[in-house]
Structure 1
Amino acid sequence: MFGRFAVQGATLRGVEAVPVDVEVVVGSGMPAFCIVGMPDAAVQEARERVRAALRAAGFSMPNERVVVNLAPGALRKTGSGFDLPIAVGLLAATGQVDPRLAEGALIVGELSLEGAVRPVDGLLAYALCARDLGCMLVCADAPERLVAIDGLEQRAVRTIADFRSGEFPALAPRRPSHAPAAPDFRDVAGQDMAKRALQVAAAGRHGVLMMGPPGSGKTMLASRLPSILPPLEEDEALEAALIHSVAGEEVGALLGGVRPFRSPHHSATTAGLVGGGTPPRPGEVSLAHQGVLFLDELPEFRPSVLQGIRQPMESGRVTVTRADGNVSFPARFMLVAAANPCPCGYFGDAEHACTCTLAQVSAYQNRIGGPLMDRIDLHVDVRRSAPRDVLGTGGGTSSDDMRAAVLGAREYASWRRARVGDGEGTEALVRSCALAPADEAFFEDAARAARMSGRAIMRTLAVARTIADMEEAASVGRGHLCEALAFRLREGVGTCG
């Protein structure tokens, strides 16, 4: 019972599925089942799953030497998705199924010991790989994990025994689902300054730090930010869904246009927040791509973990370096952070005495780190609301009203850039502000007095440009600069620079 056959498979690398040829040879020699081509432990374990699944489905396991080669050999192969293509290749090589069933198909799936085919993480990545190869995708019947892709035929296989008949029903990916309505800013009592800061941040995609005592509403405010953001566009939704698919998370809401909102616990590791592991997996900053990353209790995160998000904030990508190469994950997110001003939480609170020493307050705030603070555009104090305001909740500015201003500012900014032809970079930003000589001198004096860094100067100018866009102003004026400076230079947190 000698033979050979090759099946098209793929392996995940970052957020992409890379094609892999699964070559199966059944030949003479001492009976054995070998897998070569840099397989990881999960791929090596496929031998036992394949053996048990074939016997459970009524197929025979050859009593010859079976060698499975995963090509290219220099690429590390990971995951349990190779179970199904190895099994199909073995059956085709031994003449137990029609080899034509595997032609023109990218096959992926994990096998149970009873022969059932289970879905694997990253089915959206495999689907895109199959489309690029001009193949159809054959995988487990998991419509909740799949997305309808133009030009791609997707077929379902429930058990390995389905390859006897060759009847694979067409998959009908689930339609995008809409998440429940997001909490409304109307529920937040008072906090007009914080609402304004979040509105400006949403209009210009700026980062925000809210600092205030416990119970002042920081988390409540942050959780309502998605309600004023525009829905995801089609290409943004597919890009975000791809990351979530690789991480094994739900993608329905993303495909429905709902922006991701991630809120990791402060005990998160660097790999959990930024990405990493073996094999490298996307972290929270990548799962927040095209959405919001909310870091509550910011000083409680380990400083080394916090400093890991500095580079993604600048570049919009995370690059994980390993011995076998680099893996890159998208990570363009809005950072919203909340912090208590001191260990007890009441430094600067007029109604509650702080029990911390000044040294403790300074050490606590310094845990955030100056370089990270320098990259956060808006800093705002959040005070506890008066009892009358709390009891009168529900009558504040609604998310619908705030969203209208955000959408208007983004539309005006897009029109302005298209009309003027502004590009990217600091020179384009300065040119787009069109500061009057007197306003430019005022801003220079303020930056010099506050000892602002070059990054802080440009980020403050970007906030001023956003505020001007919200008023549909062609140039940045003194009022826009003053408001931007007020958000940057705050007593109690310190100036950035």
Structure 2
Amino acid sequence: MQLRCSLYSATIVGVRAIPVAVEVVVSNGLPGFSIVGMPDAAVRESTERVRAAIKACGFTMPGDKVVVNLAPSSIRKAGSGFDLPIAAAILAATKQIDVEALGECLLVGELGLDGSVRPVHGTLAFAACARELGCKLLVSADARDGAPLGRMEQLALPSLASLRSMAVRPLDFCAPSASVEAPDFGDIRGQAAAKRAMQVAAAGGHGILLMGPPGSGKTMLARALPSILPPLSEDERLEAAIVHSVAGEPIDSILAGTRPFRRVHHSATVAGLVGGGTPVHPGEISLAHAGVLFLDELPEFSSRSLQALRQPMEMGRIVITRADGSVALPARFSLVAAANPCPCGYYGDPQKQCTCPQWKIERYQGNIGGPLLDRIDMHVDVWRCDPGEMLDRADGRDPIDSERLLAGVLAAREFRSWRRAALGDGDAVDVGALLARCRMAQRTRDLLETVSRTQLLSGRGITRALMVARTIADIAESKSVAEEHLMEALSFKLRKGV
């Protein structure tokens, strides 16, 4: 005689929850409890947690042979979230609980030895999976990384014993709340050119490299960037929140519309930066999805880490390949990097002499690599502010503040939306499509060609310059890219400082 039951669960692959059927068979034979279907160590250990939890809640653990199959078996199952569906399937198969109430649910949760249901990372990803299946989601009552998804039911289960009477309640969601406010650009005195560059970067989502001597304000400028970023759209909120949910990071500020701002230390490994591990875990570039990735002291990063950024900067995602397959992680971010021009920091400084030998300067700057530099849209030299300019302001604030810059960013994005709807402009980034969107006069085209030849701009460099020029024209609310827009874009691409 065999007793069977099958329930829905899911496993995280990258940042997506993949549905898994938890099939249980209780049959005559030597007593045993085995799990098949490519489980990892955490899943195999669930046998002891499930036994203890079932007994602690007053249920009876079958004394016969129990086999659990996690299908499809071609996908490796990871994590402790299979405890709850395995225990529920055993209880349903042995008629100790009503299986009809669970047939429409996707169950995820870790069990304590006392039968309590504990949360696991990725509640929002599991909710998205349940919505695709047309199921309800049943998770721990302590889950704090969930969010409403339309009218889909998300239920909270405090303990395994609650399955007797299906004493569940709606899941409580964390209230969206904005994170700590970023510094205001008004607190940064001077630096008008750098602030303009940050406005253009925020308006178009461009990458930017700030280079200059120590104390010039590079880090402060980067930290102030979130204060002029537009809020996340609904789709962006969901995408970014799922990544943070899977990684075990708070999602309340993202649900409030605040764009992620990830500041990474230069000691970060390749896996920590782009993702990796077993199972594959999202890295900092995925946590910065739809937001900003800030790399301070850029030349101090390992060359392998920096070159690993090239693919996601082009594609907006990172593909990590393992022996059992490839995993794609979202990574559409704006790169903001800061760097000193040399190890001592004063190469090119008109006021303080550099003490570094030439070979050390070349090696230091060469660590960034030409291919990565070519993918950064804007290169800006940042110099120390004049002391008189800093001390002359009695109120301590600069007139070019975040409110003023944000108004330009929002106006540019609104104009871009109108341009796409009214003029039929698309999102293609090839040169032909960009030229069509720029609507440049012949004289402006000739200027671009001349500069590209004399400065040896690559095809990518020309494309990046056109993208920045189109953003500058959007800030000016101009349908076409004029000569002054193009010249400003080229000035950001062609550095003439250190």
TM-score (normalizing by structure 2)? 0.96
Give the match for residue 490 of structure 2. 485
1:436 Cα deviation after fit: 2.3
Residues 56-455 of structure 1 mapped to structure 2, 5 A cutoff: 56-142=56-142, 144-391=144-391, 392=393, 393-423=396-426, 424=428, 425-455=430-460
Aligned partner of residue 7 in structure 2, secondary structure:
strand
CA distance in 2, matches of 1:55, 1:411: 61
**Partner letter of residue 239 of structure 1?**
E
1:197 Cα deviation after fit: 0.5
Which one of 467, 470, 475 corresponds to residue 475 of structure 2?
A: 470
**Partner letter of residue 455 of structure 1?**
R
Aligned partner of residue 230 in structure 1, secondary structure:
coil
1:432 Cα deviation after fit: 2.1
**Partner letter of residue 258 of structure 1?**
T
Q: Is the 2:190–2:398 Cα contact (8 Å) retained in structure 1?
A: no
Q: Is the 2:119–2:143 Cα contact (8 Å) retained in structure 1?
A: no
CA distance in 2, matches of 1:99, 1:439: 71
1:172 Cα deviation after fit: 2.8
What CA deviation, in whole Å up to 9, does each residue of 1:43-87 have, x standing for no partner? 111111112222222323222211100011112111110000011
1:387 Cα deviation after fit: 2.7
Q: Is the 1:2–1:94 Cα contact (8 Å) retained in structure 2?
A: no
Computed over aligned residues only, the root mean square deviation of the Cα atoms, in angstroms, reads: 1.5
CA distance in 1, matches of 2:96, 2:439: 74
- Extract unaligned runs of 5+ from structure 2: none
Q: Is the 1:156–1:168 Cα contact (8 Å) retained in structure 2?
A: yes
CA distance in 1, matches of 2:237, 2:84: 29
Structure 1 stretch displaced more, 484-493 or 372-381:
484-493
Give the match for residue 461 of structure 1. 466
CA distance in 1, matches of 2:495, 2:9: 56
Aligned partner of residue 264 in structure 2, secondary structure:
coil
1:94 Cα deviation after fit: 2.2
1:112 Cα deviation after fit: 1.4
Structure 1 stretch displaced more, 421-430 or 259-268:
421-430
1:143 Cα deviation after fit: 5.3
Structure 1 stretch displaced more, 392-401 or 17-26:
392-401
1:2 Cα deviation after fit: 5.5
What CA deviation, in whole Å up to 9, does each residue of 1:137-195 have, x standing for no partner? 11101353111111211111111111122211122323322223332111111111110
CA distance in 2, matches of 1:3, 1:433: 68
1:324 Cα deviation after fit: 2.0
CA distance in 1, matches of 2:83, 2:388: 63
- Aligned-residue identity in percent: 58
CA distance in 2, matches of 1:458, 1:31: 67
- What number of residue pairs does the alignment pair up? 493
What CA deviation, in whole Å up to 9, does each residue of 1:350-383 have, x standing for no partner? 2322110111111100100000000111101111
CA distance in 2, matches of 1:323, 1:92: 37
CA distance in 1, matches of 2:130, 2:487: 54
1:33 Cα deviation after fit: 1.0
CA distance in 2, matches of 1:286, 1:169: 33
Q: Is the 2:120–2:143 Cα contact (8 Å) retained in structure 1?
A: no
CA distance in 1, matches of 2:303, 2:73: 40
CA distance in 1, matches of 2:354, 2:406: 37
Give the match for residue 26 of structure 1. 26
Q: Is the 2:123–2:143 Cα contact (8 Å) retained in structure 1?
A: no
1:390 Cα deviation after fit: 3.7
CA distance in 2, matches of 1:210, 1:4: 63
Structure 1 stretch displaced more, 143-152 or 183-192:
143-152
CA distance in 1, matches of 2:49, 2:367: 49
CA distance in 2, matches of 1:132, 1:349: 58
**Partner letter of residue 406 of structure 1?**
V
TM-score (normalizing by structure 1)? 0.96
1:388 Cα deviation after fit: 3.3
**Partner letter of residue 140 of structure 1?**
S
CA distance in 1, matches of 2:99, 2:207: 55
